[in-house]
Amino acid sequence: MNDEELLEWYEKAIDFHKKRAPGLLIAAVMIDICRSRLGEVKDQLNAICESISCLCDVVQLMTGCTIGNRYLTIYAELGRFAVTLYDRADGRGIRAFIDLDKISATDTPELYRFFYRTRSAEVKAGGIARLKSGEQVVREFLCVRDQVIGIQHVWVEKFGKPQKPSAARCPKCRESFLQINTTSECAMCSGVSGYYRLEG
């Protein structure tokens, strides 16, 4: 993908993500590299993101692998800006990650600070400083692009179409829920998980 095509994807990603983030552009390059190295798939293209970040949105936009269709898996606990695209038929995949050894603090200082999370307090606060920093990260990244992205050929351990858990009706709230664990009540009513409380 040339810079012009890449910047088109970047603008589409910004529109989808609702925020101008340099990670969107970097993610687009990573996904493009993975797709071209992986080649044709026998079954269905699947993706794994190793963090909750803008990378996930670009994967969904560029590949059609989404959380909803279950072709995208997110391992948020890993916390790495990395993605794997793989063939669901056999687990053959390509993993792209940021090779920190190839990011120069001298030649690409803002890109370096971006990935080491050492940008200034003013930038971290947001506003115009953050926007300008993001623009500088993009300019610097376009100068090095593929050079700072590491590639690994991998085999995904658990591949294939994941089985859907069976549905049940909770005896307390009377709502339908997916039986992810063996309890007869939904996670909310059993106290295993919950994000809200009823008013009143």
| 24 and 60 Cβ atoms separated by less than 8 Å | no
- pLDDT at site 14: 92
| 30 and 6 Cβ atoms separated by less than 8 Å | no
Q: What is the pTM of this model?
A: 0.85
- pLDDT at site 194: 77
What CATH topology corresponds to 3-155?
60s Ribosomal Protein L30; Chain: A; (3.30.1330)
| 1 and 33 Cβ atoms separated by less than 8 Å | no
- In 3-state terms, what secondary structure has residue 16? helix
| 43 and 8 Cβ atoms separated by less than 8 Å | no
Write down the domain spans for the chain: 3-155, 163-200
For the stretch 68-117, pLDDT in tens is 999 999 999 999 999 999 999 999 999 999 999 999 999 999 999 999 99
Q: Three-class SS string for 128-162?
A: HHHHHHHHHHHHHHHHHHHHHEEEEEEECCCCCCC
Instruction: With cut-offs at 50, 70 and 90, classify the pLDDT of residue 44.
Output: very high
| 63 and 35 Cβ atoms separated by less than 8 Å | yes
